[in-house]
Structure formats: C-alpha cells, structure tokens
Chains A and B, each alone.
Chain A
Amino acid sequence: MIEVNRQGEVWVFAEQHLGKVEDIAFELLGRARELADKLGVKVGAVIAGDSIKSVCEELIQYGADKVYAVENNLLEHYQTNSYTKVLCTLIEKHKPQIVLYGASPVGRDLAPRVASKMKAGLTADCTDLQIGNHEIKKTGEKHENLLLQIRPAFGGNIIATIINYDRWPQMATVREGVMPMPEPDAKRKGEVIDESVSLSAQDLPIEIIEQVRREKSVNLKASRIIVAGGAGVGSKENFRMIWDLANALGGVPAATRAAADLGYIGKDYQVGQTGTTVRPSLYIAIGLSGAIQHQAGMSESKKIIAVNNDPDAAIFDVAHYKVCGDLNEVVPQMIKAVKEKV
C-alpha cells in the first residue's frame, strides 16, 4: 500500500501489440494531459514489451512527458502476472497519483490484479474523468483535486462518480472510444526512461499455445456517419437497406445488440454498452427502440436521426430529428433523397 501522494504524475498504461501502440493508449494520453495540467504535474506513459523503443517517441507526441519503457523479451506477449509485476514495481518506485488503463480485454485483466496487489481503488469502464473536490458530509473533511471517475452502472441506468481519497494511486479503466483522440505533435519533447524489472519463470505461469488476432472488419470509432439498425428492421434481407443508406452517405452500418444477436450483421458492428462506443457527426437510428444500453454507446453523437413507427420509442428522447413512420418507406426515401442531393 503506498502513501497518499498528491504530487505524483498522471500515468497511462500504454498497451501495445507487436510494437504497435493501441489507439486507446493515445485516447488516454489526451485526457491524462488535461488532468495533469490541472494538477500541475507531469504525464507518464508506461510501456512494456519486446522491441518497443521505436514507439516511445510516439507516446511523447500524443502527450506524455516521460515514457517509462520496460524492454524484455519475456514481455513480448501480454501476461497477467509479468505485466502486473512491471506495473507494481514502477508504481512503487515512482508513486504516480493516478494510473489509467484502457478498458480493453488486456486492461480489464491487468488493472484489477494491479489494484489488488497495491491495495488501491479501481473504477472500471469509466466514460469520463475529471478533477474535482469532495467533502465528507458527516465530518466536513475536505479532499481537493481528486480524480472523479465517472461511469455508467446498473446497465447504464445510472451514472456514478467514484472517488478514492485514502489509498494511492487512484486508478481507473476507461472505455475505448469515449475520449477523443488527440492530434499528435511531432515537436513535443519528452524523456524516455529505461526501466528494468527482473522477471523469472514464476512470473510467466501461462503458456500461450496459439493466438489469433483478428483486426476488426469495421472501424466504427473512426466513422463520421453511422447508420444503425435494430431488431425492428425485421430480417437480414431488410438489413440490406441499412447498408445501402450507409453507402449512399459514405458512412458505415451498425447495429444494436439485439440485431447482431439475430444475425442481421456481425458483432463487430455492435454499438452500445457491450459493443463499441461511438461519437460520429451523424447517427441514424433505424428500427431500434433505444434501450439505455444502446444509448450509452451513441448518445454523444453530434446529430441523431431516429426512424421508428412507435411514437413512444425511447430513441426519440435523444434524437434531433424524429421520423415517426414505417422504416420500409422512410429509408428508401432517404436513400433516394441522399443520392439526388449529395
């Protein structure tokens, strides 16, 4: 357990795969930069792996002041125990006040293990992070400049802000895609610090027999226009309309969990609490009721058009344009209008 440290840096665990940094690390660096500036401290990125030197500069360009690099061929593949040892060793040595991880499969495997070892708090799947104060009502005790860890809970029905003020560091995992990707700045200066952590066979209890990595076939996060269909689209054949409208707009199709479960489209296209979080310029929601779990993944869209024949559908509560009508008539008309005008 490390002492409360209010001068410590804001750290980001920079997840990488075969020497390529994952987008989530850059997204985190963007927010870490803002948090650190508010606190008047530096941003540190921790990267571990085999041959990672070439990407350290990239982390600086995205906002890190210091990159703590642990290069070791035993770290080539992510493993819970070895990476936990790396993180815990560096946290104990440098005492950051905040450590952020992506809520990716790796981050969600690693962060709780580190938190348990450090006896620190950890908030999962945050959608926003801020710096703020907290007063304990009973005692009047005040804590200033804490990390406010904001996340949906109860299936997205509530938004909770979590803090921890009596154990350090303050740690959170953050959902992919909820924080805008910063622009890299090639002129930014920073420091790369080589760190070594001794590892033995004991730290690598898992044998990786085989692994297949499949790049997502669609990058919803990067799409400016998304056309999403729900179970109300009715069939896989009907879902063709969603593709057609997306194509006409130069956007990508997407779906609710229900539509993906029905096999209308692949799981990669799923938007929502259990899918991808998106923030496009335009989100067209077709034949979907707007369950809170779906809204959690798309409500940040700049403009939302909802097409549904049920005037009480919850999606209308968040839509900027409400089209209450039969999607089999409305969508072809939209395709026609777009093709004529664009």
Chain B
Amino acid sequence: MAYKCIVLIKQVPDTSRITGEAMNEDGTVNRGALPAIFNPEDLNALELALQIKEKYGGSVTAVTMGLPSASEVLREAMFMGADDAVLVTDRRCAASDTLATSYILTRAAEKIGYDLVLCGRQAIDGDTAQVGPQMAEKLDIPQITYVEQVHELSPEKIVCRRNMGNGWQKTACKLPVLLTVTDQANEPRIGAARRIMKFKNAKTPAEITKEGGSEEDISLMRDKGLLIGQLNLDDVQADLQWCGRDGSPTKVHRIMSVVLTAKESKEVEPSAQGINDMVHELIEDHTIG
C-alpha cells in the first residue's frame, strides 16, 4: 500500500530572536520585524513523513494555511522531499483561532485525501498544541500525540512510541490517523541541492499573479511541475460561520509585553565579605537555614 501523508506546516516568527524592535509600544508583536521560519517541530513531522514514504511507499503533501508569503515554507518542504505542496489562503481566514484553523485545515485535508496526517507537536508562536487534536476530532479519526518513533506501519495498523513526559507509551491503531510529532523523533534533513535547483522557482498562483503573471503563466508553471497548489475557502467548501473571527470563540482581552523586574535589588560584591553578608541576611530573614 502506498501511504498518502499530509504534513501540516506553519511559518512562524522566530520567537527566540525577539528584540526590542519586535514589540510594538502597545505590547503587541510587530511580526514584520521578526524573521519568519519553518516551525521547528513541523520539520520533524515532515522528516517522519518522508521516512515513512521512503520505507513503505506513498507520497507526502505539505499543507500550510497563511498569507501568500507562507509559500516560502512550502518551497522548503519541497526542497526536503515533499511531492506536493498546498497553500490554503483566503482573507476570510484572518483572525482564526485554533478551532477555526483546525476546521479550515480539516476541510483542506478532506479535499486532498490522506491516510496519515502529521504535524509538529506545537508551533513556537502560540505553543498551543491544539490544532492537531482538534483536526483529528473533526476528521473523526484517532490521534496519537507526542510521537517520537514509528515502529511499524501496515495497511492494518500503525505502531508508535509516544513521549508522555514522565515515561512513554507504545500504542497501535488503525489508519487513518493523525500524529503530532516531537523534536525527539528525528533529525530533519536539509534540502537536497538538486531539489533546491528544481523547486526554487516553484510558485503559488497568488505569487505569480502578484508578480503580474497571467492565467497563461500559471498553466505554464503547472506544465513544468512548478506550480504550488492553492486553495481558498470556497475551494474547500468551508462553512464561513466556522472560519476566521466568526468561527473563533477565543478573543484577545489584553496583551502586555513582558518586562520582568525585581522589586528591590541589591548589588553584592563578589568578595568573601560581600557573599558572607548576603548569606547572613538570608539567614536573618529565614530564607535559608
């Protein structure tokens, strides 16, 4: 059996490199000032899908939802070995929370078709780890979260090892299934030079149009095998009441940037005297002892 894998990937701001400029004065994030990267654990999910394809046969389709600029991560996925890539983009997706996002991606996955859906455990911008399980519920398939190894795959079942934080679990279930993958699963490969040369010019219809291209240019790219798939909410027949702001029960009440400061602080000389005095003070106020 050839297994059809969908891998959900996300372009995220590199939250480990946040500097002063990346925060607006009102405490919101200035996304434009942050480098955008491939969400790290989605790379592990993609790597796992590619390994499944190599070992058991099948295909890997990378799917992302976002602005047309998110095509960048789809190209990277193709450099690594994804057979296909699909951008789900629509203005009406804006302000989607995890519930709405999972609904839209569910509609897209149903349109594309799958035996396995893989995604990273969580994205580094929201850290919610919710979209995977919420999609599995909507697809009405089992989920296996925190996957760190696939032991066995057959048309009958998949056997995985899950990292439970305080131990692990070896579980099996029938396909189709959704897996969320942790950074312990593997070491993601880097793009192959041959594939980079081939797919660096791959584009979505949105990008071709933005550059002034016509329908003809789009079909020309398709003929060359360089057209990245693109879907909007009409294509996936999404019910708009479950998308975007309307479909998102969670709303932002307030956002504050983090400035942590100690209320009172004391400089301590790094000398024997300074340290002795500090230790003495901590004993006095019963912090230690």
Given known A157-B258, A205-B173, A207-B172, contact A162–B145 (CB-CB < 8 A): no
Question: A322–B261 Cα gap in the complex (Å)?
Answer: 12
Report yes or no: B275 in contact with A337, Cβ–Cβ below 8 A. yes
Report yes or no: A206 in contact with B249, Cβ–Cβ below 8 A. no
Is B111 interfacial (CB-CB < 8 Å)?
Answer: no
The answer, among A121, A208, A250, A316, for a CB contact under 8 Å with B171, is A208
- By a CB distance below 8 angstroms, the chain B residues around A225 are 288
- By a CB distance below 8 angstroms, the chain A residues around B95 are none
> Which residues 37-61 in A have Cβ within 8 Å of B in the complex?
none
How far does the Cβ of A60 sit from chain B's closest Cβ, in whole Å? 26
Is A212 interfacial (CB-CB < 8 Å)?
Answer: yes
Among A115, A148, A165, A273, the most chain B Cβ lie within 10 Å of the Cβ of: A115
Is B128 interfacial (CB-CB < 8 Å)?
Answer: yes
The answer, among B168, B171, B257, B270, for a CB contact under 8 Å with A212, is B168
Is A211 interfacial (CB-CB < 8 Å)?
Answer: yes
Question: A265–B143 Cα gap in the complex (Å)?
Answer: 33
Q: How many residues of A contact B (CB 8 A)?
A: 87
Question: A132–B254 Cα gap in the complex (Å)?
Answer: 12
How far does the Cβ of A77 sit from chain B's closest Cβ, in whole Å? 9
- By a CB distance below 8 angstroms, the chain A residues around B262 are 304, 317-320
Among B27, B145, B163, B257, the most chain A Cβ lie within 10 Å of the Cβ of: B145
- By a CB distance below 8 angstroms, the chain A residues around B289 are 341-342
Is A249 interfacial (CB-CB < 8 Å)?
Answer: yes
> Which residues 266-281 in B have Cβ within 8 Å of A in the complex?
266-268, 270, 272, 274-276, 278-280
Give per-residue flags for A215-228: 1 if the beta carbon is below 8 A from chain B beta carbons, else 0. 11000000001000
Is B74 interfacial (CB-CB < 8 Å)?
Answer: no
Report yes or no: A162 in contact with B133, Cβ–Cβ below 8 A. no
Report yes or no: B253 in contact with A155, Cβ–Cβ below 8 A. no
The answer, among A115, A153, A316, A333, for a CB contact under 8 Å with B130, is A115
How far does the Cβ of A314 sit from chain B's closest Cβ, in whole Å? 9
Name the CB-closest residue of B to A317: B261
Given known A155-B16, A159-B258, A318-B262, contact A164–B166 (CB-CB < 8 A): no
Is A190 interfacial (CB-CB < 8 Å)?
Answer: no
Question: A17–B289 Cα gap in the complex (Å)?
Answer: 36
Name the CB-closest residue of A to B163: A105
- By a CB distance below 8 angstroms, the chain A residues around B166 are 105, 213-216
Which of B81-89, B134-142, B191-199, B208-216 lies on the face that meets chain A? B134-142
Given known A108-B129, A122-B98, A342-B289, contact A157–B257 (CB-CB < 8 A): yes
Question: A122–B252 Cα gap in the complex (Å)?
Answer: 12
Name the CB-closest residue of B to A136: B251
Give per-residue flags for B140-178: 1 if the beta carbon is below 8 A from chain A beta carbons, else 0. 001111100000000001010001111111111110000
Question: A134–B253 Cα gap in the complex (Å)?
Answer: 7
Give per-residue flags for B239-262: 1 if the beta carbon is below 8 A from chain A beta carbons, else 0. 000100000111111111110111
Question: A333–B275 Cα gap in the complex (Å)?
Answer: 7
Question: A323–B276 Cα gap in the complex (Å)?
Answer: 12
Report yes or no: A157 in contact with B15, Cβ–Cβ below 8 A. yes
Q: How many residues of B contact A (CB 8 A)?
A: 81
Given known A122-B98, A122-B99, A342-B283, contact A322–B265 (CB-CB < 8 A): yes
Report yes or no: A108 in contact with B250, Cβ–Cβ below 8 A. no
Question: A119–B132 Cα gap in the complex (Å)?
Answer: 15
Question: A166–B279 Cα gap in the complex (Å)?
Answer: 54
Is B36 interfacial (CB-CB < 8 Å)?
Answer: no
> Which residues 1-28 in B have Cβ within 8 Å of A in the complex?
13, 15-16, 18, 22-23, 27-28
Report yes or no: A209 in contact with B129, Cβ–Cβ below 8 A. no
How far does the Cβ of A335 sit from chain B's closest Cβ, in whole Å? 10
Given known A109-B143, A206-B142, A326-B270, contact A334–B250 (CB-CB < 8 A): no
Report yes or no: A153 in contact with B126, Cβ–Cβ below 8 A. yes
Is B116 interfacial (CB-CB < 8 Å)?
Answer: no
- By a CB distance below 8 angstroms, the chain A residues around B167 are 211-214
Name the CB-closest residue of B to A339: B279
How far does the Cβ of B86 sit from chain A's closest Cβ, in whole Å? 22
Is A89 interfacial (CB-CB < 8 Å)?
Answer: no
> Which residues 304-332 in A have Cβ within 8 Å of B in the complex?
304-305, 316-326, 329-330
Report yes or no: A323 in contact with B268, Cβ–Cβ below 8 A. yes
Question: A146–B102 Cα gap in the complex (Å)?
Answer: 25
Is A236 interfacial (CB-CB < 8 Å)?
Answer: no
Which of A6-14, A62-70, A181-189, A295-303 lies on the face that meets chain B? A295-303
- By a CB distance below 8 angstroms, the chain B residues around A113 are 133-134, 136-137, 143
- By a CB distance below 8 angstroms, the chain A residues around B138 are 116
Give per-residue flags for B97-117: 1 if the beta carbon is below 8 A from chain A beta carbons, else 0. 111001000000000000000
Question: A124–B18 Cα gap in the complex (Å)?
Answer: 22
Report yes or no: B276 in contact with A337, Cβ–Cβ below 8 A. yes
The 5 closest A-B pairs by CB, nearest first: A325-B270, A155-B15, A121-B249, A116-B137, A124-B128
What 10 additional pairs, Cβ within 8 angstroms, besides A121-B250, A322-B265? A112-B128, A158-B258, A160-B255, A207-B172, A207-B173, A208-B171, A209-B159, A211-B164, A320-B265, A323-B278
Interface residues, chain A, CB within 8 Å of chain B? 80-81, 84, 104-105, 108-109, 111-113, 115-117, 119-125, 132, 134, 146, 148-149, 152-167, 205-216, 225, 249-250, 273, 281-282, 292-293, 295, 299, 302-305, 316-326, 329-330, 333-334, 336-338, 341-342
Pick 27 A–B contacts, CB within 8 A, sort by A: A104-B165, A105-B163, A109-B133, A112-B134, A113-B134, A116-B138, A119-B249, A122-B98, A124-B126, A124-B127, A152-B258, A155-B127, A157-B257, A158-B23, A159-B257, A160-B254, A162-B253, A164-B250, A208-B169, A208-B171, A209-B172, A211-B170, A249-B288, A317-B262, A319-B262, A322-B266, A342-B288
